[in-house]
Amino acid sequence: MTPAAQLTAVMKTLADPTRRAVFERIAAEGEIAATGLVRRSRVSQPAVSQHLRALRDAGLVTERREGRHIRYRVAPGGLAPLVDWLSHYERFWRERFENLERLLKESE
């Protein structure tokens, strides 16, 4: 998958508020079984499974089988496309603010 396609997949996946909440819950827990995600949420088991599949397909989570249970954890590089994209704009805006600050000091 190209970097642009990876970025699009991550952004589309995290755009859904329920899916983002599932991702945040996994990140907070470190590792959690799908049954644990269903137990403490208002989302049905099929819906949680669908969200987990989307997160896995976007490379945001990994799964590990433990007997009959599947445990999920955040994929180490899953957010890298988004972080890389945002870092470009961080530099862009930092430079713009520095230029604005310099201009304001010169006009005083």
Task: Give 77's DSSP letter.
Answer: T
Q: What is the pTM of this model?
A: 0.81
Give how many domains the chain has, as a whole number.
1
For each of the chain's 108 residues, which pLDDT tens digit applies? Answer: 898 999 999 999 999 999 999 999 999 999 999 888 888 778 889 999 999 999 999 999 999 998 988 999 999 899 999 999 998 888 888 888 898 899 888 888
What CATH number does the domain containing 17 carry?
1.10.10.10
Q: What is the pLDDT of residue 52?
A: 96
Q: What is the pLDDT of residue 94?
A: 87
Q: What is the pLDDT of residue 12?
A: 97
Q: Which domain holds residue 29?
A: 3-107
